[in-house]
């Protein structure tokens, strides 16, 4: 690419189809690692950035040339949005692009938790057959259980349909506007949902109101036999309170894909719990969802760098 060509930094890898689309009109550069210092340094010479993980809070002062950011997904909390708007940086995201993959992850989580899969498969390798088999004696049938979904947006709607129409579960839903509930979920206030649900799936966005909405007080409302699944944002859950509740067996267990800090540090208390299943923020990551999102992110970036309005401009105060 010659002089004057826009440069786009990929802080994380994207699917080849998206990178190929970008390469026709911009110079593509890759961050070699996710260290904040690396991202700041690489972004200094970039006009646009496509991200799948959190940007440093000072990214726009460190890289004043950047004028467009695309979130390879829905999570606008990955961007210091107020600073972006103040500096005239357009931010776009892709709401709903990964909804099917995340909903399927939630279905997998419910099955794994209800059937005690992790303990049984571990026991098969280390204990006698009959002992491993006995670990399945407490398994539950999903059709007998109630799912509560907190945040019934694109992901929640798909999960509600899978759970009610596929598994025959009773489904409760909570969102800011209860009168706009998905057809496959019964509207419930948050505290009532916690009391009634056997599975509580957190799929809400992170806002000042939703931060730590799962805490010591609200965890105490859940059934001792209930499980928590978090695919929304880590800070929806007070991690310290959850560790306490899981350790004391005040709830049955949890499956978590997101955490208060993006990466769990070695030795984190969650690793010591036998009733927590942990995955590294991959609920949205499938071959199909990555292909869809990479092309959509590339298209949005090209639009913005070309002076056009993206399809989903997060901060409309900034004019293309």
As beta bridge partners, residue 214 has: 237
Contacts by residues 46-49 (CB-CB < 8 Å, ≥ 24 positions apart): 46/7, 46/8, 46/9, 47/6, 47/7, 47/8, 47/305, 48/6, 48/7, 48/8, 48/9, 48/301, 48/304, 48/305, 49/8, 49/9, 49/10, 49/11
Q: Which helix (H) or strand (E) holds 157?
A: helix 154-161
Instruction: Provide the pairing of β-strand 90-92 with 68-71.
Output: parallel
Q: Which helix (H) or strand (E) holds 219?
A: helix 216-219
The single residue listed with the structure tokens 């004019």 is 319
Which member of 24, 177, 209, 265 is catalytic? 265
Q: Do the Cβ atoms of 51 and 79 come closer than 8 Å?
A: yes
Cα distance between residue 199 and residue 193, in whole Å = 10
Which member of 7, 67, 164, 281 is catalytic? 281
User: Is 265 one of the annotated active-site residues of the chain?
Assistant: yes
Assigned token pair, 282:
């991959």
Assigned token pair, 196:
């009634």
Residue 154: how many other CB atoms lie within 10 Å: 19
Closest-CA residue to 308 (of 4, 126, 84, 90): 90
Which member of 7, 233, 290, 303 is catalytic? 233
DSSP 8-state code for residue 214:
B
Residue 187: how many other CB atoms lie within 10 Å: 17
Q: Give the contacts of 192 (CB within 8 A, at least 6 positions apart).
A: none
Cite the active site residues.
Answer: 233, 265, 281
């Amino acid at each position: 690419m010659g002089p004057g060509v826009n440069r786009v930094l990929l802080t994380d890898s994207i699917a080849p189809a998206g990178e190929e689309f970008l390469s026709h009109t911009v110079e593509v550069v890759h961050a070699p690692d996710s260290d904040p210092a690396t991202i700041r340094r690489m972004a200094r010479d970039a006009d646009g950035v496509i991200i799948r993980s959190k940007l440093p809070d000072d990214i726009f002062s460190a890289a004043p040339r950047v004028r467009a950011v695309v979130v390879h997904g829905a999570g606008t909390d990955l961007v210091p949005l107020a600073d972006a708007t103040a500096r005239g940086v357009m931010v776009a995201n892709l709401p709903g692009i990964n909804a099917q993959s995340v909903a399927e992850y939630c279905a997998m989580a419910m099955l794994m938790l209800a059937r005690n899969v992790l303990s049984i498969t571990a026991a098969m390798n280390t204990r006698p057959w009959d002992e491993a088999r006995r670990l399945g004696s407490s398994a539950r049938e999903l059709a007998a259980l109630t799912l509560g979904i907190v945040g019934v947006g694109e992901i929640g709607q798909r999960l509600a349909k899978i759970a009610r129409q596929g598994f025959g579960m009773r489904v409760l839903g909570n969102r800011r506007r209860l009168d706009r509930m998905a057809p496959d979920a019964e509207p419930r206030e948050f505290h009532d949902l916690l009391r009634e649900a056997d599975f509580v799936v957190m799929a809400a966005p992170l806002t000042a109101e939703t931060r730590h909405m799962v805490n010591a007080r609200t965890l105490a409302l859940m059934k001792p036999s209930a499980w928590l699944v978090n695919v929304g944002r880590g800070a929806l859950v007070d991690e310290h309170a959850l560790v306490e509740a899981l350790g004391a067996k005040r709830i049955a267990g949890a499956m978590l894909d997101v955490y208060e800090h993006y990466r769990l540090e070695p030795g984190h208390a969650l690793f010591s719990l036998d009733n927590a299943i942990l995955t590294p923020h991959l609920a949205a990551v499938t071959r199909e969802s990555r292909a869809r999102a990479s092309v959509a992110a590339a298209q949005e970036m090209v639009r913005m760098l070309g002076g056009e309005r993206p399809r989903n401009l997060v901060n409309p105060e900034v004019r293309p």
